[in-house]
Structure 1
Amino acid sequence: MAMINCPECNNSVSDAAYKCPTCGVQLRKAKRGFFGKLFKWSFIGFNALMLFWAIAGFNTATKDIGALTGAEQAGAAIGTGIGMAMVLTVWVLGAIILGMFVLFTRPKVA
Structure 2
Amino acid sequence: MALINCKECNAEVSDKAKTCPKCGTTLRVPKRGVVGKIIKYSFIAFNLLMLWWMIAGVGGAAETIDASASEAEQAGAAIGTGLGAMMIMVIWVFGDIVLGLLVLFTRPK
TM-score above 0.5, yes or no: yes
Which amino acid in the other structure matches residue 21 of structure 1?
P
Report the RMSD for the aligned CA atoms in angstroms.
1.9
Match of 1:77 in 2: 78
Q: Distance in 1 between matches of 2:67 and 2:50?
A: 29
Structure 2: give runs of 5+ residues left out of the alignment.
none
1:30–1:107 Cα contact (<8 Å) kept: yes
Identity among equivalent pairs (%): 55
What corresponds to 1:94 in structure 2? Answer: 95
CA contact (8 A) 2:18 2:29 kept: yes
* AA at the equivalent of 1:31: K
Give the letter aligned to residue 89 of structure 1: V
| 1:55 Cα deviation after fit | 0.2
Superimposed CA distance per residue, residues 77-97 of structure 1 (whole angstroms, 9 cap, x where no aligned partner): 000001001000000000010
Inter-partner Cα distance in structure 2 for 1:5 and 1:37: 30
Who is 2:56 aligned against? 56
Q: Does 1:107 align with 2:108?
A: yes
Aligned-residue offset at 1:15? 5.4
Alignment partner, residue 34 of structure 2: 34
5+ residue gaps in structure 1?
none
Residue type matched to 2:53 in 1?
Answer: W
Note the alpha carbon deviations across 1:34-79, whole angstroms, 9 max, x for none: 1111110000000000000000010001115233210000000000
Tell me the matched-pair count: 107
**Partner SS for 1:103:** helix
- 1:10 Cα deviation from its structure 2 partner: 3.7
Equivalent residues of 1:43, 1:95 under 8 A apart:
yes
Q: In structure 2, what residue type is equivalent to 1:67?
A: A
Q: Contact (CA 8 Å) 2:13, 2:20: kept in 1 or not? A: yes
TM-score, length-scaled by structure 1 = 0.85
- Between the aligned partners of 1:48 and 1:66, the Cα distance in structure 2 is 27
Task: With the length of structure 2 as denominator, give the TM-score of the two structures.
Answer: 0.85
